[in-house]
Structures are given as structure tokens and as C-alpha cells.
Structure 1
Amino acid sequence: MAGVFTGFATIGIIIALGVLLAQLRVLDERGQRTLSTLAFYVASPALLITMMQDSDLGSVFSGNLVAVAGGVLVAGTLVVTVETLRRRGLGATVVATLCGCYANAGNLGLPIAAYVLGDPVLVAPTLLLQMLVLQPLALVLLDADASTTRLSFWTVVRRPLTNPITVASLIGVLLSVTGLHLPGPVAAPLELVGGMAVPSMLIAYGVALRLGPLPGRGVPALDLATVVATKQVVQPVAAYVIGRFVLGLDAEALLAVTVLSALPTAQNVFVVAQRYQRAELLARDVIFVSTLVTVPAVMLVVVLLT
């Protein structure tokens, strides 16, 4: 338990550093975007490759992936049902569903997996599920809602393969399964660059908290509360129930799937909502509120399961 709280303290201090740097105007919005871009396109892929190549992915993916997917399915089905009963359009329903089940596994999942759970590889099932299944499916539906032309097969297939984190995860899986190892001249620079991933993401997150706009009015409180509760309560509870009573996961795996399912809604959901001009205010406010309640929610999970 002491190690868990030390991990949270480490994350909090680095986020606070980002807030301080923004307050002192050392970093502005442009600097925050640069840090986030560097972490997303370079450092995080390097970290995933180097960590996954030596990991026992069989134990991580076997039950964890099913439990995480089960939590996503339960939460997503609930949001779809509610939005359908309210007669929302296809685009708004897709965005609301992403808000209710698409976790911030990249920016917060990696640090929490590394410092709280002790292994960044534990976030891999969530990342791959979202990048290879949820995101492509959501974009296809949104494209169908916004376009009168049929999407080509290759357009659908190509989407997840243009995401650097997805590509890096697949490379890491391939290296782990085949038992191959990167040569020293390649592995050493990757490890050095990968070391930037977690601090870069957390500092950028702190800057975003300080400079980002607060949510405004325009979203009914009931709509906001329903989606946030689905993301922060229904999804982790469903993952826990499936992991414990259906799959019989051990305590460590059960903690991992529950904590990662309790992560807030990912920021890129708002980017998607803006791109398609569907449920933008809902996406913005759900991300903000779910992010605020994540630390107490995750700490509650840790206290209850350890």
C-alpha cells in the first residue's frame, strides 16, 4: 500500500510541476502541445516497445483483455441504450458512448500503470482494444453519419495503423511472442527516449490543467452526470465483476483491470467530437469532470482491493 501511495505522490508532484511551469509562464499552450506531441509520437512508442519485448504478455492479455473489454461493453451498451431512448442522432450517440467507455490510457494510463501498478505493460490491453477496435469503429460510424459516400475498406483498415502507439504496441507484441530482441544500438536509444514518456505526459497534463478552460454551461446536468457515472463507476465495477466472478483473476490482475477501467475519458474524444461537430460540449465537460474525480476514484479502488 505504501508503494501505491508513493506512486500517486510521484504522479501528483510531476503534474504540480506542470501547473507551476504554466503559472510561471515557462511553458504555454504551444509548449504543452509540443510536450504532448513528443510523448505521443516518439517517447511513448519507444517506451512500449522496450517494455513489452521482455514481458510475459500471455499473462497480461489472457484475462485482463477480456475483463477490460467486458467493462467497455457494459458501459458502452448502457450509454447507447440511454441515448437511443432519448432519440439522439447517430453522431451524438457515438461521441457520448466514447465519453462513457474510452479511457485516457495514453496520457494517464501509462504513468498510473508504471508508478501505481508497477508495470506499464499492464495498460497494453486497454490501449490495443481502444486503438484497434473502439476508435476505428467510432470513426467509421461518424464518417457514415457525416458523409453520403461509402467508405473504402482500406480507409477503415488504415486508420489504426497510422497511430504510433498502436504500431509500437504491435511491434512490442511481435517481439515478445517471437522471443526476438532489438540489437543494442537500437534498444539503447529507444530506452533513453522512452524515459521521457511519463514525465513529458504528466508535465503536459499539469500545464493543460492550469491553462485549459473550465467547462461552461450548455450540457444538462443529468446528461453529464449519467455519462461520468458510467465511465467512473459502471465501467470499473463491470470490469471487476467480470474479472473476479467470471474469469477468476488473481488479486494483482484484478487491481490492474479495475484501476485502468476507472481512468477518465480520453482527451482525444473531444478532438473527435470537434472534428465531426457532434456533442462537443458533452465531450469537453465529461473529460473535465471525469479527470477531476479520477484520483479519488482510483485511490478508492486501490484501498478496497489491497
Structure 2
Amino acid sequence: MESVILGFATIVAVIGVGALVAHLGVVDLGAQQVLSRVAFFVASPALLVTTVADADVSDVLSRGLAATVVAVVIPAATYVLIARWRWRRSAGERVIGALSSSYVNAGNLGLPVAAYVLGDAALVAPTLLLQLLVLQPLALAVLDADVRGTRPSVSEVLLRPFTNPLTIGTLVGLLLSITGWRLPPLVADPVELIGAMAVPGMLLAYGISLRLGPGFGGDVPPGELALTSGLKLVVQPLVAYAVAHHALGLSGHALLAVVVCASLPTAQNIFVHATRYDRSSTLARDTILVTTTGAVPLIMLVVWLLG
């Protein structure tokens, strides 16, 4: 339990530094754009190479993966349907809202939580790889098409993600994981060093936005923020539990792992994507804030009930 608190405290501390330097005038709002772009185009792809390369791909072929898929699809689809009918959101805005409702912080928070709370960092691999290899490429393809003002064709959805730096980083890491190859130190060391910028860069950019960006809620309808936060904190963990336990028969540690992963808060990189494509960045930012705050007691409750 202490490790869960420590993981969240570390994230909050780095976000606080970003807000502090913005408050003191060390950086302006333009720094948030720069940090976000560096994280998106440079640091995150490098981080994905090293993270996916170390994951055991065989872990994806598990019953827990099916529960994870359903637990992502239901809240994401619920948001898309409601947002299109209630708030008339564009395709790109619906993508960011759907990701805010279902895309968990499986990297910089999920990995340490899996290691210190569940006892095995590999337990987050199904969630991590599902997001990196399926959800993220599809979402970015739609966002690319929405920015250009065109409807994505089937071939575009299938091919365009492979021009995205995040997808390329993921695929390189997957290739290394499958083959067992290792990058030579002359290449691996700079990649690891650059990748280490990704998480603090995203968190600092997020802190700057909290201080200098629109106030909490901004122009986002309170009902929409409540919807994304509720889908993430309530619906996703409940669906994961119901499918894993009642439909797939998981119990004990395997069940705990699935539900804890589903209880993780919205990932910070959703804010990076929202900023990069200028789609619903305030909604993404505030959902991250609400779910990160709410995930602390939620994960503690899950561990207490199922641990």
C-alpha cells in the first residue's frame, strides 16, 4: 500500500514543479507546447522502444486480456455515443474523450504499481501492449484525419499509424521483444537517456497547463467531465471485475491484477495527444486530474477487497 501512495506522490510532486516554475515566471504557456511536442515526437518513442522490448509478449495471450479489452471498449463506446448525441463533438474530440474514459496510465504508474503492489511488473503487460499496439495507433489515425478534415479510409486507419513516431517506437520494441535482440550499448544508452525525458516532460507540461491554462473545467460542460471521470473510475473497474470473475472464472491474484490495472487513472499522454492535435485538451487535463486523485483510494479499496 505504501508503494501505491509513493507512486502517486511522485507524480503529483513533478506536476507541482511544473506548476511552480510556471507560477514563478520561469516558463510561459509556450513551454508546455514545447515539452509536449518533445515528449510526443522524441522522448515517448524512445521510452516505448525500451519498455516494450522488456515486456514478455506471451503475457498478452491470457484470459485477463479479454477482460481488459471489454473493460476498455464499454466505457469508450459509452462516451462516444453520449458525446455525439449530447454535445455534438467532432471525431477528434470524441477520440480524446473516449481515451480519457478508458486509456489507463499503464506505463509510468502501472509498471511500478504492478511491481510493488502485485509483485510482478509483467502483469501490466497485457494492458500496456493492448494500448500501445491497438488503441493508440487507431486513435492517432483518426486524430490525424480529423486535423486534415477528411474521413479516414480503411487503408488509412491501417497504414497511417505506422508513420506515427509512437507506433514506430512500439513496433521496434515489439520486434526486440519477440526476437530477443538487444540494441548495442552505443545505441541503447542514448535511447534510454532520451526515453527518460518522456514521463517528467509530460508531467511538467501538465503542471504548466494547470497553472497557466484555462481554469479547472474551462469551457468543458461539468456533465462531460463527470462522464469521462465516472466511466474511468467506476465503470471500467466494474466491467473488468465482472468479465474477469463471472465470465472468465478468474480469481485470486489474476483477478486482482486485472481489476487493479483497470483502476489506474487516465494516462498523462492523453493530454499530450490532445495538445498535439488541439482537440479537447482541457477535458483530457481535468479528467487526468480527477482520476489520478480518485485512483489512490480506489486502488487501495480494490487491494483490500480482492487482495
TM-score (norm 2): 0.78
Check whether the contact 1:160–1:166 (CA below 8 A) recurs between aligned residues.
yes
Distance 1:19 1:284 in 2: 17
Question: Identity rate of aligned residues, in percent?
Answer: 33
CA deviation string 1:169-189 (max 9, x = no partner): 111111111121112211121
For residue 160 of structure 1, report the CA deviation from its aligned partner: 1.1
- 5+ residue gaps, structure 2, are 116-120
For residue 297 of structure 1, report the CA deviation from its aligned partner: 2.2
Distance 1:182 1:238, change over 3 A: same
Report what 1:38 is aligned to: 38
Report what 1:110 is aligned to: 107
Report what 1:131 is aligned to: 136
Report what 1:207 is aligned to: 208
Distance 1:220 1:191, change over 3 A: closer
Report what 2:237 is aligned to: 236
- Higher deviation after alignment, 63-72 or 179-188: 63-72
Distance 1:100 1:117, change over 3 A: same
Check whether the contact 2:232–2:263 (CA below 8 A) recurs between aligned residues.
no
What residue identity is the alignment partner of 1:48? L
RMSD over equivalenced CA pairs, Å: 3.5
Out of 237, 246, 253, which is 2:257 matched to?
253
Distance 1:95 1:43, change over 3 A: closer
- Higher deviation after alignment, 248-257 or 18-27: 248-257
Report what 1:277 is aligned to: none
Check whether the contact 1:232–1:290 (CA below 8 A) recurs between aligned residues.
no
Distance 1:189 1:265, change over 3 A: closer
Check whether the contact 1:18–1:207 (CA below 8 A) recurs between aligned residues.
yes
Distance 1:132 1:244, change over 3 A: farther
Distance 1:152 1:79 in 2: 23
Aligned ranges 1:257-268 → 2 under 5 Å: 257-260=261-264, 263=267, 266-267=270-271
For residue 303 of structure 1, report the CA deviation from its aligned partner: 0.6
Distance 1:49 1:104, change over 3 A: farther
Check whether the contact 1:52–1:173 (CA below 8 A) recurs between aligned residues.
yes
What residue identity is the alignment partner of 1:257? C
Check whether the contact 2:100–2:266 (CA below 8 A) recurs between aligned residues.
no
- 5+ residue gaps, structure 1, are 275-279
Distance 1:124 1:210, change over 3 A: farther
Out of 292, 296, 300, which is 1:303 matched to?
300
Q: Which secondary structure state, in structure 1, belongs to the residue aligned with residue 182 of structure 2?
A: coil
Distance 1:139 1:234, change over 3 A: farther
For residue 224 of structure 1, report the CA deviation from its aligned partner: 4.7
